[in-house]
Amino acid sequence: MKVPLMDIRAQYGPLRAELDAALADVLDDGRFILGPRVEALETGVSARLHGRPSVGVANGTDALVIALQALDIGPGDEVITTPYTFFATAEAIARVGARPVFADVEPESYCLDGDAVAERVTDATRAIMPVHIFGHPANMTPLMTLAAENGLVVIEDAAQAFGGVDGDWPVGEIGDAATLSFFPTKNLPGIGDGGMVVCRDATLADRVRRLRFHGSRDKVIFEEVGYNSRLDELQAAAIGAFLPLVDEWNHARRRAAGWYAEAGLGEHVGLPAERPGARHVYHLYMVRHPARDALRAALAEREIGSAVYYGVPLHLQPVFAGLGYAEGELPVAEEIARTALALPMHPHLTREQVDAVVEAVAESVEAGVATG
Ligand SMILES: Cc1ncc(COP(=O)(O)O)c(C=O)c1O
């Protein structure tokens, strides 16, 4: 059985009529940028995060850049983040002129390790930027404590984890700000680019609103240099149609993760862990195997989709060579980058597909294809 890594059409298919109508409404209205649908989406996201004001922007990368600038982070400042994330996280730090500082991650959750972060705090540190990677919430309590002790702000990169929970708190409302991406493969998707900044208070949200529109509130007076980073009505209409389904989709992802474990996948590869008290939303389902690349090739022969994410951690990327990190310096992240593989995961994955993936993994490993 052929099993794709993701299946966006299966996800959108049942909503096609609703989406067509929502998009047609936008065309009929003729208002395309920052209109009522963007406002409704901002309100809808806020409502899920105990009223935290949320501001739609053009994409998740801009959300990070704008959040950093709105919190006055810039040249001379250091921001501690994870090396095991999509490039945009560290790119945003560099984009505002600050210095990304990489700390190692936890071996189980693949998220920032609080002890490792503590070791990297200097007089120049201004912020910590954890990423809820693959949908697993970062362990926020030690990070928030460290931030409070050192007068730092915390920006959660929640691009992959809408609906995740850390202890008593939904991700997105723990730090001073949080950012979302609505890239079409995300667990709360759009049908193009889109993003959002979730803010600790109305003052920060006001600054984010100003920054997304060229540093102006009214197109007449320009108070600072900002961005053209607005969310459009077509995207907001689509994301707004998906928002009510995100819990059901996250639940279906968790159910599929349960099936993988039940079907014995853990006998062949390392399974993703869930920290006690955390709620993983499995944006991606990442397993571990020492011969990851050979396993991937063997799965491709069996028409099972898989993918490597962040195969070269950020501290070893050529663009950051000037920061002076050496191979072996962040060993946990490096080991995960060498051994982690995404297997099929989406809300419409069936038990039969899960069984087919597990069988293909078992065959590949048992055949020795994936042992070296
Ligand atoms: C962890 C993380 N941060 C930031 C981004 C950037 O989001 P976008 O692609 O919407 O700019 C992404 C997604 O690609 C991501 O996965």
**Residue 235 Cβ contacting ligand 1 at under 6 Å:** no
Cα within 13 Å of Cα(115), Cβ side = 3
pLDDT computed for residue 372 by the predictor = 47
In the reported structure, the alpha carbon of residue 87 is separated from the centroid of ligand 1 by a whole-number distance in angstroms of 8
Given ligand 1 and candidates 6, 182, 183, which is best to mutate, with the most ligand atoms within 8 Å of its CB?
183
Please write the tens of the pLDDT for every residue from 52-79. Answer: 999 999 999 999 999 999 999 999 999 9
Q: What is the pLDDT of residues 214-254, one digit of tens each?
A: 999 999 999 999 999 999 999 999 999 999 999 999 999 99
Question: What type of residue sits at position 66?
Answer: I
User: What DSSP character marks residue 129?
Assistant: E
* Ligand 1 pocket member 130 (CB < 6 A): no
How remote is the CA of residue 199 from the centroid of ligand 1, in Å? Answer: 18
pLDDT of 127 > 60? The answer is yes
DSSP assignment string, 4-53: -S--HHHHHGGGHHHHHHHHHHHHHHT--BS-HHHHHHHHHHHHHTTT--
Give the range among 29-33, 96-100, 210-214 with minimum mean pLDDT: 29-33
pLDDT in tens, 2-41: 999 999 888 888 899 999 999 999 999 999 998 999 999 9
Ligand 1 neighbour 138 (Cβ under 6 A): no
pLDDT digits 0-9 by tens, 142-163:
999 999 999 999 999 999 999 9
| Token digits of residue 287 | 């397993």
Q: Which of 61, 129, 284 to mutate to test the pocket of ligand 1 (most atoms within 8 A of CB)?
A: 61
User: pLDDT band for position 369 (50/70/90)?
Assistant: low
pLDDT digits (tens, 9 = 90+) for 243-290: 999 999 999 999 999 999 999 999 999 999 999 999 999 999 999 999
Say yes or no: CB of residue 89 within 6 Å of ligand 1. Answer: yes
pLDDT score for 13: 87
Single pTM value for the model = 0.97
pLDDT at 10: 87
Measure 135 CA to ligand 1 centroid, in angstroms: 12
